Structure 1
Amino acid sequence: MSAVSPLLASASPETVRLAIDTVRTLAMDAVQAAESGHPGTPMALAPLAYALYATHLRHDPAAPAWADRDRFVLSVGHASMLLYGTLHLAGYDLPLEEIRNFRQWESLTPGHPEVHHTKGVETTTGPLGQGIANAVGFAVAEASLAATFNRPGHQIVDHYTYFIAGDGCLMEGISHEAASFAGHMKLGKLIGFFDDNGITIDGSTALTCSDDAAQRFAAYGWQVLHVDDVNDLAAIDAAIAQAKADTERPTLIITKTHIGFGSPNRQDSAKAHGEPLGKEEIALTKAAYGWPSTEPFFVPADALAHWREAAAQRAATHAEWQRTWQAYETAYPELAKEFERRMKGELPPHLEQAFPVFDAKSGAVASRAASGAVINAIASVVPELLGGSADLTGSNLTNVKGAHPFSAAQRDGRNFHFGIREHAMGAIMNGMGLHGGVIPYGGTFLVFSDYMRPAIRLAALMGVQAIYVFTHDSIGLGEDGPTHQPIEHLAALRCIPNLLVLRPADADEVSEAWRTALHHRSGPSAIVLTRQKLAYLGEPTRARDGVKQGAYIVADAAGHVPHVVLLASGSEVEVALKAREQLSGHGVRARVVSCTSLERFAQQPVEYRHHVLPTGVPRVAVEAAHPMSWYRWVGDHGAIVGIESFGASAPAPVLFEKFGISADRVVQAARSVLA
């Protein structure tokens, strides 16, 4: 093993080797105790984890969330014991007992790393490739905040984002999308390591892949470096220094490793990837390391002391930053307050007055157009709101007028052109949101939410505030036909726990949907919008609490208990209102309920839900989508007017007629439940 970094030149090679092997043995022992997991990659990458956490990362175990720390993303999330072992040894709040409880109920060491669950974990990884795109998002947020807040001599935002990816991460298509975006944007503070071990669960990567990763990333505009042996710490140091020297390109360091390093019978084999080594093989491997104990989870005192000394040296960078911050507060007090507000996730004080109010004079407005108006109305008040579209800006109407694009030349731009990369857009937004200081939003057609669903699911799992602007929300988009007409998508999105789906029925509900999404800090929101124009429903004040509560009464039975309740969302609220008029002509009292968010309505007190949907009164739901979402709300004796087939190419009015999304059909359904 080559000499240690100059930052820890006082340490002997033997101590460094012991510190690295402790990460390896903890991984072996934890996977064996859990009887499941992935020991081979942590065993291979232990020297890299040491090089990063002991000698390069700006981090402080006592303050794992300080603003200008370096971010580290383990995209190969199955190698979680690499991260857990390192965090424990470095002094994070992760006791050895939690390592012993790897993969167990309520432990701090779940099978894959989970942000907000384990101190020191920056993002939830596991689905391969997501971490690469998250890392790109971290780097984007850093670049944006640096351009916004740094001043000459006062660099309060100046950190790097590191990631480790494996063969599987690079095979996943999202890695292409994210790496292409990062190279084009010249994110020079993004440094990635490719764990090139040539092994997957099925066997050699030669079974499925013959890519030249170096040429591939060079074509994206990345600097590509090589470390021929991950055990060569001096080579890792030199590569990181070279990566930092190139401020115009992100860097990929291709690092040769041996999965299951040191295991006499499992090294370089698929068996070292995703199963315990077995007690006998662990004993043989520890003997090959010259390990001083046969006891599982043994941490040598010298190794622990060395790790903690290294962590203390890295924590000194936090103290240096605090001095920089204090000088910044003195020189730029207003900017300092704004930076603190953003990093704390607090909304600006004058936000509520910024939301536009629509009224009858506004006329019929497509909800996507109303959304564009809201974005532009609040943009100056919420400067941390950054976003754009996956190449559909003119359709999604996500542009902030007068603002310039985020680019390699203009880091303070707030209009994002994510390109035709829906999946990466979602995952980059996750990284931006997790970084802090920005609220990301991104637009595409609702039908293409399928392309970004894995990132949406992870945003919901992580509690990331991200706002999705999904336009062209039904067969109402018309002539583009069934490939672009969402049918099952509303139901599919509503099934994701912790995702707030908002489908507003008119322009004023759009304004309230944006207000609700901005206040929803504990997870992502999807605002689902029409291409076609929607009529104005009524007084603007009626929508404020109603949208926030998920559903509310739009039109009622004039002081009488209704005979039937008509439920709808979005453009179909207008259909329900027309059906109500027809029913009234036949002596049937109908209540119309706008259901902007079914999941938000489900969270309301039972008294409110019964007020809106009185027990014993039959219900009919109408939505130009698959009916699955509505069975819970109409009950056994209700009816649903929906669509259970794909759409067709024709003008929107023709499609609504042909597919039966009409007042006549709703009236028929109401009569059937009243019969």
Structure 2
Amino acid sequence: MGNNTPENQKDLDQLCINTIRALSMDAIQKANSGHPGAPMGLAPLAYTLWTRMLKHNPANPAWFNRDRFVLSGGHASMLLYSMLYLTGYDLSLDDIKNFRQWQSKTPGHPEYGHTSGVETTTGPLGQGFTNAVGMAMAERHLAACYNTKECEIVDHHTFVVCGDGDLMEGITSEAASLAGHLGLSKLICIYDDNKISIEGTTAIAFTEDVGARFKAYNWHVQKVEDGNDVDAIFKALKKAKAEKNKPSLIMLRTHIAYGSPNKQDTPDAHGSPLGEEEIRLTKKNLSCPDDTPFCVTDKALEFCRQCLDKGKKAEKKWQRQVKSYEKDFPVLAAGLKDAISGDLPEGWDSDLPSFSNTDKAIATRSASGKVLNAIAGKVANLIGGSADLAPSNNTLIKDSFDFQKDSYNGRNIRFGVREHAMGAILSGMALHKGIRPFGGTFLVFSDYLRPSIRLAALMKIPVIYVFTHDSIAVGEDGPTHQPVEHVVSLRAISGLTVIRPCDANETKEAWRYAIKNTQGPVALILSRQNLPIIERTESNSESLLENGAYVIYDSPQKPSLIIIATGSEVNIAIEAAKTLEQKGVAARVVSMPSTELFEKASAEYKDKVLPQDTSNRIVVEAGITMGWERYAGDKGEIIGISGYGASAPGGTLMKNYGFTSDNIVQKAAKMLKL
């Protein structure tokens, strides 16, 4: 960009790089909190990538065909904020000055949906790296589905910057292994090899050969020995973009807090401000034109802001491609437009299966598989898989094939035994847009992807988790595979909607809700064992499930007892209510598949389902009792589990742990003093 001579351009490059360093130092010092070391060491890389390589439009951060940039080491957020400000995104110098302050646009770690240009929320190490793998997978799938020989309408790269901490995390190993297997050549990772961690040099805990490790993963690996060499960085990036068969790792040897006379290459520079005097000395050492805090020269800003014009031209060029594409390939163009917008096709749920109480009992995991396939037949961008448990989770799309290196248009993703990576990859696919991702595993293994679920909830992205084998009814596999605390644990995640359906019909409605919902992740909690299809006395569960709970069985008289249950326990609750009726007790059964949705319902609806003047209540769920106190009330009873399960047939376990209609009747008789 520009008409500078090589020597003048070199000076301008250095001015811009040092501006990034100075902004980072100053913002962190003003906040008296933050991580200056990595932004200072990575400034040459960020400058080179954002001004010379990255395809982006600061005036439209949501441009679909942009390159994605992920800062996996989110503690280096001032590096990203500096680039967003300098290149012309909706981030001002005042926002930079307000770093880490209340309601600022520049929080301590980058937050998706909060700051213009931030692609994903990062900070928990390894998550951003794995999100990037998901983004690259989404790009490849959409390209395979919608590109033609005449027009590559989906064509962009995903760049991710990670550090030693990211690579120490197990999730990164899982994701890198899968990315290499899939040959995601449009994924480029720059490894900030600064050899410093919080506790000291990385030599105290991290001495592996990173390059050899990634080569073994089937990655293309390069090394740049001087992290300040702009030309070498640019050449490595160009070479990585030219690679067509493998994802790329660029090992960039940097120096944490570069330029600081006393803190360069020390752990002290990782997570603490440098101090005013050290900043003054550093700016002098770097030959900054001014040591005034937040000094940005017109020359540096003008040069970096050329990204605005460059980005607008790139997007306009793509828009011209789109017009031609729409004319030549109208069906494909309409499909891609719907996928990107997230709009569901008309009649998307018209083929959902019907389940009658005269049908045979069916496990909700099996019902889920039938519903999933019916939806997949209409919603073309529904794609997902399982952590090596697809036959058990019923997560295979039967009319499709595997997503693999030679078939990126496949909709069945084989994640392998990589639950944590699966969770973060699903998030990356959702963040990319154009994809409705789902992933399955046993409920007991939801702990393995909990950090990814939490971040999906924080970002309010529509990921669907299919968690099967939901209780001690798993049976013979024993307590290691029997979830007890997991449903309650998932309910504790703010922004996650947990749905534990009682039969095939509730499962259908759970999927309907999950697909329609775009404001956060949904976890479906499904049974291994067959469950009868329940006849509703009030109406069927459609629409009522959206309120989280409803009356599934009621006595003609005003109830003197309310039994609240979820999942497989609803049927035994109904059996108990019928037995109690014979004893002269008017009992109501409330199916409460989702406490989150019930809490969002109106006060009037809640009181209709759970009248406040009915204090005799029994709650039944095959898990720990925590949280159910608010529905049981002071006089109520909760039938649950304390401790773990055991190895025995599922029916035997349910009986011995008290999940029977007889036990509910006995509890009710004692409560009502029959």
Identify whether the pair has TM-score above 0.5, normalized to the shorter chain.
Answer: yes
Instruction: State the distance in 2 between where 1:20 and 1:362 align.
Output: 69
1:651 counterpart residue number:
649
Q: Is 1:279 the equivalent of 2:272?
A: no
Moved more, 289-298 or 467-476: 289-298
Q: Which residue of 654, 665, 668 corresponds with 2:666?
A: 668
Letter in 2 for 1:635: G
Instruction: State the distance in 2 between where 1:25 and 1:561 align.
Output: 72
Q: Give deviations 1:629-658, integer Å, cap 9, x for gaps.
A: 311111222110000110000001110111
State whether residues 474 and 624 of structure 1, in contact with CA within 8 Å, keep that contact through their aligned partners in structure 2. Answer: yes
2:35 counterpart residue number:
38
Instruction: State the distance in 2 between where 1:35 and 1:412 align.
Output: 49
Structure 2 residue matching 1:443: 3-state secondary structure: strand
Q: 1:205-244 alignment to 2 at 5 Å?
A: 205-244=202-241
Q: 1:315-464 alignment to 2 at 5 Å?
A: 315-464=312-461
State whether residues 58 and 311 of structure 2, in contact with CA within 8 Å, keep that contact through their aligned partners in structure 1. Answer: no
Letter in 1 for 2:424: A
Change in 2 beyond 3 A, CA 1:228/1:311: farther
State whether residues 494 and 629 of structure 1, in contact with CA within 8 Å, keep that contact through their aligned partners in structure 2. Answer: no
Structure 1 residue matching 2:542: 3-state secondary structure: helix
Q: 1:526-675 alignment to 2 at 5 Å?
A: 526-539=523-536, 542-558=540-556, 560-617=557-614, 618-675=616-673
Q: Give deviations 1:434-487, integer Å, cap 9, x for gaps.
A: 000010000100000000000000000011111011000001111000000000
1:112 counterpart residue number:
109
Structure 2 residue matching 1:12: 3-state secondary structure: helix
CA positional deviation for 1:116: 0.6
Change in 2 beyond 3 A, CA 1:417/1:311: same
1:149 counterpart residue number:
146
CA positional deviation for 1:362: 2.5
CA positional deviation for 1:561: 1.5
Instruction: State the distance in 1 between where 2:594 and 2:568 align.
Output: 14
Structure 2 residue matching 1:666: 3-state secondary structure: helix
Structure 1 residue matching 2:91: 3-state secondary structure: coil
Instruction: State the distance in 1 between where 2:3 and 2:171 align.
Output: 37
Q: Give deviations 1:566-624, integer Å, cap 9, x for gaps.
A: 00000000111111112112111110000010110010000000000000212110000
Instruction: State the distance in 2 between where 1:364 and 1:6 align.
Output: 75
Instruction: State the distance in 1 between where 2:34 and 2:416 align.
Output: 37
2:267 counterpart residue number:
270
Structure 2 residue matching 1:449: 3-state secondary structure: helix
Letter in 2 for 1:655: L
With normalisation by structure 2, the TM-score equals: 0.98
Structure 2 residue matching 1:151: 3-state secondary structure: coil
CA positional deviation for 1:673: 3.3
Moved more, 471-480 or 348-357: 348-357
2:242 counterpart residue number:
245
CA positional deviation for 1:539: 4.7
Q: Give deviations 1:46-94, integer Å, cap 9, x for gaps.
A: 1111111101011001110011000010000000000001100000000
- Percent of paired sites with the same residue: 51
Instruction: State the distance in 2 between where 1:668 and 1:10 align.
Output: 89
Q: Is 1:135 the equivalent of 2:139?
A: no
Q: Give deviations 1:268-322, integer Å, cap 9, x for gaps.
A: 0000000000000001001111122222111111000010124422442212111
State whether residues 472 and 482 of structure 2, in contact with CA within 8 Å, keep that contact through their aligned partners in structure 1. Answer: yes
Instruction: State the distance in 2 between where 1:571 and 1:545 align.
Output: 20
Instruction: State the distance in 2 between where 1:436 and 1:451 align.
Output: 25
CA positional deviation for 1:402: 2.8
Structure 1 residue matching 2:540: 3-state secondary structure: helix
Q: 1:166-185 alignment to 2 at 5 Å?
A: 166-185=163-182
State whether residues 264 and 284 of structure 1, in contact with CA within 8 Å, keep that contact through their aligned partners in structure 2. Answer: yes
Structure 1 residue matching 2:156: 3-state secondary structure: coil
With normalisation by structure 1, the TM-score equals: 0.98
Q: Is 1:299 the equivalent of 2:325?
A: no
Moved more, 352-361 or 499-508: 352-361
State whether residues 8 and 310 of structure 1, in contact with CA within 8 Å, keep that contact through their aligned partners in structure 2. Answer: no
Instruction: State the distance in 2 between where 1:8 and 1:665 align.
Output: 86
Instruction: State the distance in 1 between where 2:656 and 2:552 align.
Output: 27
Q: Is 1:516 the equivalent of 2:513?
A: yes
Q: Is 1:92 the equivalent of 2:89?
A: yes
Instruction: State the distance in 1 between where 2:432 and 2:444 align.
Output: 28
Letter in 1 for 2:251: I
State whether residues 514 and 522 of structure 2, in contact with CA within 8 Å, keep that contact through their aligned partners in structure 1. Answer: yes
Instruction: State the distance in 2 between where 1:91 and 1:148 align.
Output: 33
CA positional deviation for 1:334: 2.4
Change in 2 beyond 3 A, CA 1:121/1:400: same
Moved more, 580-589 or 424-433: 580-589
**Unaligned runs of at least 5 residues, structure 1:** none
Q: Is 1:484 the equivalent of 2:481?
A: yes
CA positional deviation for 1:422: 0.2
Q: Give deviations 1:127-152, integer Å, cap 9, x for gaps.
A: 00001110000000000000011111
Structure 2 residue matching 1:501: 3-state secondary structure: strand
Structure 1 residue matching 2:305: 3-state secondary structure: helix
Change in 2 beyond 3 A, CA 1:393/1:7: farther
State whether residues 510 and 524 of structure 2, in contact with CA within 8 Å, keep that contact through their aligned partners in structure 1. Answer: yes
Structure 2 residue matching 1:62: 3-state secondary structure: coil
Structure 1 residue matching 2:277: 3-state secondary structure: helix
Structure 1 residue matching 2:544: 3-state secondary structure: helix
Q: Which residue of 155, 159, 173 corresponds with 2:156?
A: 159
**Unaligned runs of at least 5 residues, structure 2:** none
Letter in 2 for 1:94: L
Letter in 2 for 1:225: Q
Letter in 1 for 2:643: S
2:44 counterpart residue number:
47
2:502 counterpart residue number:
505
